[in-house]
Amino acid sequence: MRVKVLGSAAGGGFPQWNCACPNCSGLRNGSVKARPRTQTQIAIAADPEYALRAYWTLINASPDLRWQIVATPELAPFPNTRSSTAIMDVYLQSADVDALMGLLHLREFQAFKVFSMPAIRSILSEENSIFRVLGRASPPVQWFSLPFSSHVNWEKKHNPDAVPQFTAHAVSLGGEYPDYIGRKLRATLPAQEAVIALAFEFAGKRVFVAPTLPGRNTEWKRWAESSDLVLIDGTFWSDDELLQTGRSKKTARQIGHLPISGPGGLMDQYPKSARGRKVLIHINNTNPILNEVSPEHRAAREAGWEIAYDGMEFNL
């Protein structure tokens, strides 16, 4: 599998357009050693040896998706075709605006598949009619309810029985639905479908993707422990990070993100026996690990963590 990080920041990117925190101001004036980042977007492809063409799966659809596609040669339309994209499907992990707004960038009469929990499709179809624009393609965009285990079916050029399966597993993380959802619809939505992680497997390798980790159950640990690559919630360094900025009255946990540090934080809870690479992604603009010479950045690296950046790539 190839895994590409097209974007690595939390909502708003880095620097955030309306933020003058030390990180954002420092990046603008050059006083902070950091990289600019677009909003989190991941793309995965299985070994092209097995496919007629090199197709890619998108994990969520960020608000920056159009630019991220343009900046990624592998996602360009196939040569000598009028309208043929390398993007075969999109997997949605929640109904957060940052996870699905980019679908509107894919509206140019292009057929592809969208996989999500049934609740997420209900939110988009019942309360957000703008997403009907995806149905203008011929054939229209296909929506599939994501079970807790599914197979990604790509065009094969060999005997299908001899080709390793590219498999996706959904893992409930016990989060909450966004507050833009109406009260009436919210009351009908299953709690376990609000936020999911995804584990993709191919040819004996597994990548586990959880850019939003509420930390309200422990199921994620089993998957993280057994994965070759883990891309996981690095939104906030500390639980009171937003409180310190004066821009919010809520802690990291209260808005659905397990902080990296502190008692019961991500580094504290992460399985000690995990064998794969562990990468922090979905990093908020206020997070001190963005500053590459900060004590927090150094502490994360010394603990064995990698810090995602736009353009980062993994080959499994």
User: How distant, in Å, are the alpha carbons of 111, 115, 297, 314 from that of 140?
Assistant: 6, 14, 45, 32
Q: What average pLDDT does this structure show over 262-290? A: 98
Cα 139 from Cα 141, distance rounded (Å): 7
Cα 206 from Cα 200, distance rounded (Å): 6
Q: What average pLDDT does this structure show over 176-197? A: 95
Q: What average pLDDT does this structure show over 212-221? A: 97
| pLDDT exceeds cutoff 50 at 155 | no
Q: Out of 3.40.30.10, 3.40.50.2300, 3.60.15.10, 3.40.50.720, which CATH number does the structure's domain 1-154+163-309 have?
A: 3.60.15.10
Q: Provide the pLDDT confidence category of residue 158 given band limits of 50, 70 and 90.
A: very low
High-pLDDT (> 90) share of the chain, %: 74
Taking the CA atoms of 91, 96, 102 and 104 in sequence, report the sign of the dihedral they define.
positive
pLDDT digits (tens, 9 = 90+) for 141-151: 888 888 765 55
The label of the residue with tokens 């908020």 reads: 284
pLDDT at position 156 is 45
What average pLDDT does the chain have?
A: 91
Q: What average pLDDT does this structure show over 67-88? A: 87
Domain spans in the chain, listed from the N-terminal domain onward: 1-154+163-309
